[in-house]
Structures are given as structure tokens and as C-alpha cells.
Structure 1
Amino acid sequence: MSARELIVLGSASMAPTRHRAHNSYALRWDDQLIFFDPGEGTQRGCAVTGVSIAKATAVCITHFHGDHCLGLPGVIQRRSHENNASERPGGLDPLPVFYPADGEEYFDRLHHSTIFDDDSKLEKRPVPAAGIQGQLGEFTLRAEVLEHRDTTFGYRLEEPDGWSADADRLAAAGVQGEDVGVLLDQGWIDTPNGRVTADEVTVPKRGQSMAFVMDTMPCEGALELARDVDLLVCESTFLHAELELAREHKHMTARQAAELATEAGARRVVLGHFSARYPTNDVFGQEASRFHDDVIVAEDGATVPVPHR
């Protein structure tokens, strides 16, 4: 299996700081490279982390507040430049961009915000309602409505369930080395002791999943997205001491993000979207770690692996 990891390109809400660029994330998932909420500074974040915009396979935008989309023009124009320079026959593949359908005018403004030679090959995928939005390779992308001040969708990426070889069963059947690959590829193999089928030596393996929840109060949509995921990326704009402020602006606290992860059964939660009122990030981890046992605080430039099953 190829690398499955989250790259933090930015972790700030509303206003960038000296140490945080606008909220922005890239997810490497086998042959997919998905950008979530590319805020201002996304190109810079890609340069720092070595993420190639030309290799993007999808962009998912939760809503059209600036800290979640002001980096989109740069992503589009950089991709267009890369496509013009590409030596691949036909250039780059089309890039699907998912966003709330009622924000079409904002998407178009961002797309055409400056003069450039547009060869970006965008594939507009407006999201009209909750539900399955399509396939990204073999993975399913689903959206749920979140509770924020304007129309906001969270996203969930799901891998189909599969099978994995069981070492004890393989040993008992006398299958080893290169024969294991042959067995799994064709579904059977003949051994000195007789024919062995894949069904005899494999066990069900649950597919992995990831959820992206920004911006929202705790709500049913967030819970559904986060249910039993391996990796939950969740907003935690405030600390719980500012709970009333969080409610007023329809955001979450670090404690609420951790409680959501625990209630949903998420294995690992990455906190992000931090208010500039907090000069350091460690306070978010200190609060959230009392309510979930695998909390990671987003730091610009960091890479977070998706937990293995």
C-alpha cells in the first residue's frame, strides 16, 4: 500500500499569523492527492512540504469563507502553468473541484480573479445536498451538511472493504514466498497437498476512511462523517473557556472536537483551524487529550500518517 498521510499546509482560522498560514490541507491516499480547503498561502505550503499541485487529483471546499478558499486562484493558476508546460500527451488529467452548489458565483470569481492563460482543465462538481458525490479512483467521496453560518459541507473518503492474507492460514496450507502473490492474484494455486483457494487463507479487511470537518458546531452531520474513521481532521477554533464565543460563531472548541472523535469512534483526530488569539498550538492538545487518546495538533508543514489497520 502506498503512503496515506495528511500534509498540513496551513492551520490558521480567519487571519494568518507569523507561524500559521490559512487553513489548508493535502491528503495523499495511494494514487490520490486531494486538497481540502486551500486557504491563502497554499502554494507556499506546497513549496515548503514538497507537495506538487500538478499531481492534484481533486479539490474539496467546505464553504466559501476566505480562510477556506483564498488559495484556490493560486492552485488553479499554478496547475494551468504546469499543464501548459506538461510534456504528457493531452496534458494533465481533468481536476474535479467539489464545493457547495449555492456558492457557484464565488467559485467563478475565484477561478477568474486575475488575468492568466487558463488551461487548468477544472471539472466543476457542485455539491447540492448530502450524499455520495462520486468516486476518486476506487474511493468513494461523501458529503454531509454541517452547522455553520453559511452553507457548509464536510467530506468523507471511504475505501471499499477487502481481504487480506492470514499468515497462519498460509503457513498451514504450505503457501509461501512468491506463491502467495500468485494465489492472491488468480484466486487459487496448486500445491503438493492439493489446490488452495484464496477464500481458505484470507480474512475480511475493513477499508480505511478519513473525514474532514470544517467549519461547524457539533452536529449530526459531523458525527456521521466522523463515525469509525481512521483519521478525522476537525476544526477546533477555540478552547473550551471560550465556549460561548464558539457557539456564537458556530465553531468548535478543542474539547468538543475530541468529544466528537470519541463519540464517533474515530481512531485519530487532527485538530486545526486555530484562532489567532492563541499564540501557541500546544494548549489545544492539552485540552483535547483529556477526551481522546490519539490527538494530533496540526502544525504548518507537518505530515500526519493515517493509522494502519
Structure 2
Amino acid sequence: MRELVVLGTGSQVPTRTRNHNGYLLRWDGEGLLFDPGEGTQRQMLFAGVAASSITRICLSHFHGDHCLGVPGVVQRLSLDGVRHPVVAHYPASGAEYFARLRHASVFHETAELVESPVTEPGEIARGAFGRLVARRLSHPVESFGYQLVEPDTRRMLPDQLAALGVRGQAVGQLQRDGFVEVGGRRVELSAASEPRRGQRFAFVMDTRLCDGVFELAEHADLLVIESTFLSADAALATEYGHLTAAQAGRVAAECGVRKLVLSHFSQRYPAPEAFRAEAAGSFGGEIVVASDISRIAVPSRRPYRAAAG
């Protein structure tokens, strides 16, 4: 299963319809919880998300709408008896704040929370899911965005395998070793398969336009990006370190994004569809104006050549 569960889409001030931030990415056996703002634990209940589904917590920065839900989530891990380790990534400069959030009140801690602060841009984790990469963003406080990159693989072609006489256990050997001997002939993996591009997810919050934004969004199958302001308030966006919906659309267009998810909306705007209209001015792909307690599927795989662009 690969989907984004949206737990909250507000910015500094929550509204009647928008909670503070919160996004859970289900990625096969991983559950990455991004920027749990105040109220995230309750939003998880509404969305049917169990604490046991969380394997990583990723904070972009330490403004309250992106981290005040940490105490409840951390305590819920122990309350629910989560047995697997949960890794927490956050800007290392905010280690003091994370310590306060983690131990905000008295509770019986049984779950294993492994802190892995982000000190520099680059790869911060690697596993069966692929690589987790952090890039520095431009905000008044230190902030990082995150990118999940699945490795490229190869897709076996049944017709080619049959034509080459590769069957049974020989197929597994071909995948494992890159070649197999069949009837006195050497069959290379490339003769019976085609490239299968790995999928990419990107999470970009609270930033002005900068190199890190474009690096994170490059060829993303699913890009979750803040669009706090509309273009009429572009000067405010720059002053406070945020993006407009139009800028988010530009990023998606220039980076070859497949599905664009807009979020982190200022409470000053009553009509969320205005964000879609602005982003669509430069981006012709699929646009989702995120809403609380919604699910957004990661797009299905596309042909390698189209993905490679």
C-alpha cells in the first residue's frame, strides 16, 4: 500500500475545518509521519490510523504547527505497546525542543524511540523502502524537506523469458545473478527484462523558493508542498518564508511532478479552490487541494522512459 493519509492541512492557526499539520505516508511496510502538529493523535483516530503503523517521525522544523503533536504521538506509542523501534528525524539545531516535546509530561515509556537528528543535507536513512533524503529549505528557522527515493529495478518480461527458454528456478537465478546458463547459452538479465524506475515522494513545508525545493521535487510521483498564500499576498509569503500556490505549481511543472498536493493553507482564505486555480496556471498535471482526514494514492508506476524524462 502506498498512500498519503492527510491528518491536518492548516497553518499557524487551525480552523473549524482544518487541523494543524499532519501527514502519514504509508509506503509498503513503512509509515512515515511528517510534521505532527497539535491534535494529531486525535486526527489519527478519525482517520483510522493506528500508532503501530508509524515507523518514522520526520519534522521539518520546530514551529508549533509542525511539532506540537509530538508529545501525544510519542506517548501513544507506549500506551498502545508499539513493539518496533520508531526513528525520529528533525533538525539537529532543535534538539532541545525535541527533548522538551518528547518528555512534555509524566508517562510510562515502553516504546523505543530512536532519535536521528539531521545535521547536514543528504541521505539520512536507507532501507527496504529505498533512501530517505533531507534538503535544507529557506525559512526564518532551520528547516528541512524530505524525499523518499525508491531504487530503480527491472521488470521481467514473460514473453521474452519464454522465448529464451528461461523458466522455473532459472528466473530467480537470472534476477539474482544478472545472467543464467540455459541450453549452453548465456542469457543476460537485460535480454528478458526492462528498466523499472523507482517511485519518489517529496515533502516540502515552510520555505521560500530555493534550490532545496527543486531538488526535493525532482521527478516526484507525489509532491506534498505548502501553499500558504495566494499570489495577491506574495510579498507576505516571501517575508515570512512561505510559498504561494502559483509558486508551488511552477515547482511541479519545472520538476516533472506527477501529482501535486497543496496544503498548509492560511486561515485568511475562505475558498480553497482558489489555490488549485493558481497552481493550474503553470502546472497541467493532477492537483489535489488537501483536506483533513483524506487519503491520496501514490500514482501507479509509469513507463521508465517517460519517468526518466
What residue in structure 2 maps to residue 275 of structure 1?
266
Which residue identity does 1:72 align to in structure 2? V
Trace 1:145-294 onto structure 2 (pairs within 5 A): 145-170=136-161, 172-173=163-164, 184=175, 198-292=189-283, 293-294=285-286
Contact 1:32 1:137 survives alignment (8 Å): no
What residue in structure 1 maps to residue 30 of structure 2?
32
Greater CA drift, 100-109 or 184-193: 184-193
Gaps of 5+ in 1: 87-91
Matched, 1:74 2:72: yes
1:78-98 Cα distance to aligned partner (Å, 9 max, x none): 001112xx6xxxxx1211100
Please report how far the alpha carbon of residue 185 of structure 1 lies from its aligned counterpart in structure 2 after TM superposition.
6.7
SS at 1:223's partner residue? helix
Check 1:190–1:8 CA distance in 2 against 1; reply closer, same or farther (3 A cut): same
Contact 1:37 1:69 survives alignment (8 Å): yes
Q: Residue 107 of structure 2 is aligned with which of 107, 116, 119?
A: 116
TM-score by structure 2 length? 0.90
Which residue identity does 2:286 align to in structure 1? D
Identity %: 47
Please report how far the alpha carbon of residue 199 of structure 1 lies from its aligned counterpart in structure 2 after TM superposition.
3.5
Q: Residue 46 of structure 2 is aligned with which of 48, 66, 69?
A: 48
| Count of aligned pairs | 300
Question: What is the RMSD computed on CA atoms of the aligned residues?
Answer: 2.2
- Cα distance between partner residues in 2 of 1:215 and 1:35: 17
Trace 1:52-131 onto structure 2 (pairs within 5 A): 52-83=50-81, 92-131=83-122
Check 1:177–1:272 CA distance in 2 against 1; reply closer, same or farther (3 A cut): farther
Check 1:299–1:178 CA distance in 2 against 1; reply closer, same or farther (3 A cut): farther
1:30-86 Cα distance to aligned partner (Å, 9 max, x none): 110000001112112211221111221101000000000011111100001112xx6
- Cα distance between partner residues in 2 of 1:66 and 1:149: 14
Contact 1:268 1:294 survives alignment (8 Å): yes
- Cα distance between partner residues in 2 of 1:23 and 1:128: 23
1:99-143 Cα distance to aligned partner (Å, 9 max, x none): 000101100110111111112311011111111112243421111
Greater CA drift, 186-195 or 46-55: 186-195
Gaps of 5+ in 2: 302-309
- Cα distance between partner residues in 2 of 1:42 and 1:28: 16
What residue in structure 2 maps to residue 89 of structure 1?
none
Q: Residue 291 of structure 2 is aligned with which of 275, 286, 299?
A: 299
Contact 2:8 2:20 survives alignment (8 Å): yes
SS at 2:116's partner residue? strand
Please report how far the alpha carbon of residue 242 of structure 1 lies from its aligned counterpart in structure 2 after TM superposition.
0.9
Check 1:14–1:166 CA distance in 2 against 1; reply closer, same or farther (3 A cut): same
SS at 1:276's partner residue? coil
SS at 1:127's partner residue? coil
Which residue identity does 2:293 align to in structure 1? G
